[in-house]
């Protein structure tokens, strides 16, 4: 019998975990109209997973270089608020507004990249700092009412509202996710830049010695994350039809958790975009399913935490077993 490769097994495991979770919530939270397992709700889950999956593409690139980006939630808020300002105070057309939003996202990513790749600030602390910087900037440019109180800015541009809908139930955000995920996967697997990302993550020293520009590779990964953040922000504000200062609060861990559930190692050098997307679906299913249990929010937090720990423990035990097996196999072949 032909053996499945390790990566293929890993993919099957994450899909399996997703299916188990869906089955679990189908039993606990029921199926039928208005329950967990109904076509309307399942599409809702995919729609919820789309923004974390889009941003997950950039975050996966960053994590593969053994970095991390904690600023995605705040950068999203900044992009949204910038567009809200343009909507409120200028007569610029819709397309220009979105374009400027994307540019702001790219600028956020570029700043992250400079802080980490050029100033050599450790990734965790550097993006923690930019997280509070972008959030503060969002508050500074927030639109205030006559009394100077920050208000949520409704954005009801007809084209903007259109962006939040889709062809029937096939939302545009889901289409955007599919396109961006596919491009991300192709870049990662079939371009020079993608290979460089893996080498930088596996060993910075080896990558430098083999002539890869490590700093530039890292910097570009952060810029790409900035782009995906901006796309995520455009769709989020289009769905809410408004921009608030609270957009993306506590969001930053979502794409990271999605990546890890999908098999991207935080130590860098392994994983891919499809895995992260499955992880994002997993996290969205978890959020939605726990909500559908009709329980007090406080218990929802506890259950969410426990399920994440259970999944991570399962994943780690499985990985340890596979490593052991691979070693034994290697030893056997060596003997022969």
Partner 1 sequence: MKEFNWSKYSKPLILVAFVVILSILRPKAFLSLNNFSNVLWSVSVIGIMVCGTIFVFLIGGIDLSIATLCAFTAVVVVEITHLLGDTPVAVCVGVVAALAVGALAGAVHGLIITTFHIPAFLVTFATQSIFLGLAMVLTNNKIVSCTVPAFTAIGAMKILGFPLPVYFMLVMAVISWFILRKTVYGRYVYAVGGNSMASAISGIHVKGVSIGCYVLSGLTTALGGIVLASMTQQASSSTGSGYTNDVITAGVIGGVSLLGGEGTVPGAIFGAVLMGLLNNGLNLMSVPSTHAGLVKGLVIIVAVAFDAMQHADQSKKKARKVKKRGESV
Beta-bridge partner residues of 166: 171
> Of the candidates 281, 271, 333, 332, which has an alpha carbon nearest to the alpha carbon of residue 6?
271
- Distance between CA atoms of 11 and 263, rounded to whole angstroms? 8
What residues from 120 to 159 belong to the interface with partner 1 (CB under 8 A)?
A: 120-122, 124-126, 128-133, 135-137, 139-140
Asked if 320 interacts with partner 1 (CB under 8 A), we say yes
Residue from the set 159, 249, 317, 329 that interacts with partner 1 by CB under 8 A:
317
Helix (H) or strand (E) run with residue 154 in it: strand 153-154
> Of the candidates 81, 51, 58, which has an alpha carbon nearest to the alpha carbon of residue 236?
51
Q: Does residue 122 sit in helix, strand or coil?
A: coil
Asked if 304 interacts with partner 1 (CB under 8 A), we say yes
Nearer to partner 1, 180 or 311 (CB): 311
Asked if 82 interacts with partner 1 (CB under 8 A), we say no
Binding segment toward partner 1, per CB under 8 A, in 16-24, 76-84, 206-214, 316-324: 316-324
Asked if 313 interacts with partner 1 (CB under 8 A), we say yes
Taken as a whole, the chain contains a residue count of 336
Residue from the set 218, 236, 245, 288 that interacts with partner 1 by CB under 8 A:
245
Asked if 64 interacts with partner 1 (CB under 8 A), we say no
Asked if 9 interacts with partner 1 (CB under 8 A), we say no
Tokens found for residue 250:
């506590």
Binding segment toward partner 1, per CB under 8 A, in 37-45, 185-193, 216-224, 314-322: 314-322
Asked if 266 interacts with partner 1 (CB under 8 A), we say yes
Provide Rg for the chain, Cα atoms.
21
Tell me how far, at minimum, the Cβ of 200 lies from partner 1, in Å: 16
Rounding to the nearest 10 degrees, give the CA dihedral for residues 127, 133, 138, 141: -150
- Only one residue has tokens 């990985």, namely 319
Asked if 5 interacts with partner 1 (CB under 8 A), we say no
Angle, CA of 215, 216 and 221, to the nearest 5°: 100
The Cα-based distances of 310 to 13, 307, 316 in angstroms read 14, 5, 10
Asked if 298 interacts with partner 1 (CB under 8 A), we say yes
Nearer to partner 1, 96 or 306 (CB): 306
What residues from 183 to 242 belong to the interface with partner 1 (CB under 8 A)?
A: none
Q: Does residue 210 sit in helix, strand or coil?
A: coil
Task: Return residues touching partner 1 (CB under 8 A).
Answer: 115, 119-122, 124-126, 128-133, 135-137, 139-140, 245, 253, 257, 260, 266-267, 296-306, 308-309, 312-313, 316-317, 320
């Amino acid at each position: 019998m032909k053996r499945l490769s390790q990566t293929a097994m890993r993919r099957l495991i994450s899909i399996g975990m997703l299916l188990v979770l869906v089955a679990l919530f189908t039993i606990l939270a029921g199926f039928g109209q208005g329950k967990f397992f109904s076509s309307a709700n399942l599409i809702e889950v995919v729609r919820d997973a789309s923004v974390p999956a889009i941003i997950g593409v950039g975050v996966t690139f960053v994590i593969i270089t053994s970095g991390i980006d904690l600023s995605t939630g705040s950068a999203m808020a900044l992009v949204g608020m910038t567009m809200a300002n343009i909507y409120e105070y200028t007569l610029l057309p819709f397309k220009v507004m979105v374009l400027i939003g994307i540019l702001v996202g790219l600028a956020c990513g570029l700043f992250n990249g400079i802080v980490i790749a050029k100033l050599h600030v450790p990734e965790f602390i550097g993006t923690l700092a930019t997280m509070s910087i972008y959030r503060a900037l969002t508050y500074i440019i927030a639109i205030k009412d006559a009394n100077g109180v920050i208000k949520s800015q409704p954005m009801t541009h007809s084209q903007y509202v259109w962006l939040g809908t889709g062809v029937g139930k096939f939302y545009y955000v889901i289409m955007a996710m599919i396109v961006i995920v596919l491009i991300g996967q192709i870049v990662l697997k079939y371009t020079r830049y993608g290979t460089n990302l893996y080498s930088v993550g596996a060993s910075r020293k080896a990558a430098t010695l083999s002539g890869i520009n490590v700093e530039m590779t890292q910097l570009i990964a952060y810029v790409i994350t900035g782009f995906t953040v901006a796309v995520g922000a455009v769709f989020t504000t289009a769905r809410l039809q408004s921009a608030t200062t609270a957009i993306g609060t506590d969001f930053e861990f979502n794409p990271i958790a999605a990546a890890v559930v999908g098999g991207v190692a935080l130590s860098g050098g392994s994983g891919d975009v499809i895995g992260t997307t499955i992880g994002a679906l997993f996290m969205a299913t978890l959020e939605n399913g726990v909500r559908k249990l009709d329980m007090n929010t406080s218990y929802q937090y506890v259950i969410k935490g426990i399920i994440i720990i259970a999944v991570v423990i399962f994943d780690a035990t499985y990985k340890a077993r596979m490593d052991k097996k691979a070693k034994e196999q290697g030893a056997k072949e060596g003997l022969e």
